[in-house]
Copies of this chain bind each other. A is one copy, B any other.
Amino acid sequence: MSQESPTFSPLYRQIKSLILQALESGEWRPGQVIPSEQELATRFSVSQGTVRKAIDEMAAENLLVRKQGKGTYVASHNDPRAMFRFLRLVPMDGDLSHPQSVPLDCWRAKAGQEASRMLGIEQGAPIIILRRLLRFGTKPVVIDEIYLPGEIFQGLSMETLQGWSGSLYSLFETRFGLRMIRAQERIRAVAADRSTGEALKVAEGTPLLSVERVTYTYGDKPVEWRRGLYSTAEHFYLNELS
């Protein structure tokens, strides 16, 4: 009678994927409360404990945020505490103020070989390329070149960017309904070329961090590819290992 099930999946994982579906479908939007554990338990015909375990995992993955006494919320990049969730750069003097994003350029193009591979789209498909500067106080510290699938980001323009004071991902979430879930960064050291040096106010040839990031939305779908050049004269990239 043993099931011999190589695809065995516990109930709470099935519930988890049902909740995930509801999130993907937009049934509950970022920043909003989702139904209480008891309600979800009734809806899915399982015990509260099973829903609880599903939500536990999703909270650990930063998809949901629990607030005791209030409810469980859909994680949002609009939340001040999560605005620069993926930015690991920290000032050496310990200043905790948020950086400011300054858009430089924004134009349309067709995906080349690299962009198509990174974004999982066809070569020649429309993309949007975006350049921006990140400033801590008055100091320019990062220059980013960002590649986005044109199909998803229709209508993105310099005007859109200039009228936004928060983080890019909060803009993407609010304007394009796109939620960034996780990212992967590949870091190398490179020398500043002349134009980059000018933008970051460092000498040509200065060593910089090259940070290539691919960002994923639901279903592990890549929706952003960017390359950042970080000046580490007064900042460093902080990483916790465990």
**A205: chain B residues within 8 A (beta carbon):** 205
What's the tally of chain A residues with a CB closer than 8 Å to chain B? 31
Q: Is A150 on the interface with B (CB-CB < 8 A)?
A: no
Closest to A184 in B: B240
From A184, A189, A239, residue with most partner B Cβ within 10 Å: A189
Q: How far is the CA of A108 from the CA of B236 in the complex (A)?
A: 30
Q: Is the CB of A190 within 8 A of B207?
A: yes
Contact among B62, B181, B183, B187 for A187, CB-based, below 8 A = B187
Q: Any chain B CB within 8 A of the CB of A88? A: yes
Q: Which residue of B lies closest to A237 (CB)?
A: B187
A62, A86, A186, A188 — most chain B CB neighbours (10 Å): A188
- The residue of chain B having its C-beta at the shortest distance from the C-beta of A238 within the complex is B186
Task: Give bound CA distance, A204 to B60, whole Å.
Answer: 44
Is A3 in contact with chain B by the CB < 8 A criterion?
A: no
Which residue of the partner chain B has the closest CB to A180?
Answer: B241
A-to-B contact residues, CB < 8 Å = 60-62, 85-86, 88, 181-191, 205, 207-209, 213, 230, 232, 236-242
If A62-B242, A183-B242 are given as contacts, then 14 extra A-B residue pairs at C-beta distance below 8 Å, sorted by A number, are A88-B239, A181-B242, A182-B240, A182-B241, A184-B238, A185-B238, A186-B236, A186-B239, A187-B239, A189-B208, A189-B209, A190-B207, A191-B207, A209-B209
